[in-house]
Amino acid sequence: MKIKMYAAALGIAAFSSGIAFANGTLDQVKGRAELLCGVGENFAGFFSPDATGKYSGFDVDFCHAVAAATLGDAAKVKFLPATPSARFPQLQSGQVDLLSRSVTDTFSRDGSLGLDFPVIMFYDGHALMVAKSLGVASGKDLDGANVCTQTGLSTEVIIADYFKSNKMTYKPVVFDSRDQALAAFESGRCDVFSSDRSTLFAYRAALKNPDNYVVLDDTISKSLNGPVVRHGDNNWEDIIRWTGYALIAAEEFGVTSKNVDEVKADPAAPAEVRRLLGVEGDFGAMLGLPNEWAYNVIKSVGNYGEIYERNLGPQGKVKIPREKTLNALWKDGGAMIAPSFQ
């Protein structure tokens, strides 16, 4: 009776999926020899398919990292795209093993959907994009504006909170898809398009005349983004969390995809690095993985900095500066930090 009452409080679908998959995701991944990773439809720099359907991007590389950790082969991933409104049911129902698509951690998502957010991999915040012809310099100049958003995102609540807190009114214009919302914005139906700042830079680049639009300096919310897993499978959550930490720690220690073999073979390497790479200790066994799981990750996809530069740096499809932001390492003034491997 208590279980049924608790399930009703959380939502039966979310609760039952947590029970069904408790402590079994790793076994399922190993059994099918493939990681099922939920991503979005198309978000340049984070997740986007090429003409052949092959996905690339920051969030895509995290999936490759998890495949390297759990299966020893970064290529053993199947990517399943979903709209914002379909992504959580996709995970809850077991269609995917994790979501890796810049999902923002919020209290209600964490507490009511039967989901867990193991690690933050990208810090962001909502911003506002307008046409330069509108002649505004700040979000506080937008009283009475029409605002385009996409349904199923936290943007709707963030926009409502922002306008209310600044004693302004607005008219929401909500669409099912990003393409519909962007088309309406570009046609002038809306004065404002709002999303995470990183998203806006990607969307702006996709417009016919991107120089006609500007992302305002206002940051109207904080967005802590990262992979998402079903609640109840503690071992799988630990694997996802420590895969993220391994990427961050490797960058801090200066271990890259190019020098990882040399560092691994160096008996004078710091003890924490040797534990990270599986040379000392039994850390992989604690997760049900080979002790070289993190070595496999770094060798295959690189460290956090390599992933960032490849997808969001100067060579990336979308260029999002990392210096002097929370996405820098903690020792460089950012928030990217990993617990000790000890």
According to the model, what pLDDT value does residue 283 have? Answer: 95
Q: What is the mean pLDDT of residues 102-129?
A: 93
Residue-wise pLDDT for 216-243, tens only, equals 988 888 889 999 999 999 999 999 999 9
Name the pTM for this structure: 0.82
Percent of the chain with pLDDT over 70: 93
According to the model, what pLDDT value does residue 333 have? Answer: 95
According to the model, what pLDDT value does residue 199 have? Answer: 80
191 band by pLDDT with thresholds 50, 70 and 90 = very high
Kindly tell me if the per-residue pLDDT of 187 is higher than 50. yes
Centre a 10 Å sphere on the Cβ of residue 337 and count the other Cβ atoms it contains: 12
Residue given tokens 């340049």 in the structure block: 44
Is pLDDT larger for residue 84 or for residue 247?
A: 247
Kindly tell me if the per-residue pLDDT of 147 is higher than 80. yes
According to the model, what pLDDT value does residue 18 have? Answer: 39
**How big is the CA angle at 119 (ends 282 and 79), to the nearest 5 degrees?**
95
Range name among 11-15, 93-97, 140-144 with the lowest pLDDT average: 11-15
Is pLDDT larger for residue 222 or for residue 60?
A: 60
According to the model, what pLDDT value does residue 239 have? Answer: 98
According to the model, what pLDDT value does residue 6 have? Answer: 29
Q: Of the candidates 331, 342, 338, 327, which has an alpha carbon nearest to the alpha carbon of residue 298?
A: 338
Range name among 19-23, 274-278, 324-328, 336-340 with the lowest pLDDT average: 19-23
According to the model, what pLDDT value does residue 217 have? Answer: 86
According to the model, what pLDDT value does residue 206 have? Answer: 82
Distances (CA, A) of 180 to 73, 157, 189: 38, 20, 11
Distance in angstroms (rounded) separating the CA atoms of residues 8 and 30: 32
Residue 219: what residue type? Answer: T
Is pLDDT larger for residue 150 or for residue 75?
A: 75
Whether the CB-CB separation of 272 and 253 falls below 8 Å is answered with yes
Q: What is the mean pLDDT of residues 67-77?
A: 98
The residues with which 128 forms a beta bridge, in sequence order, are 194
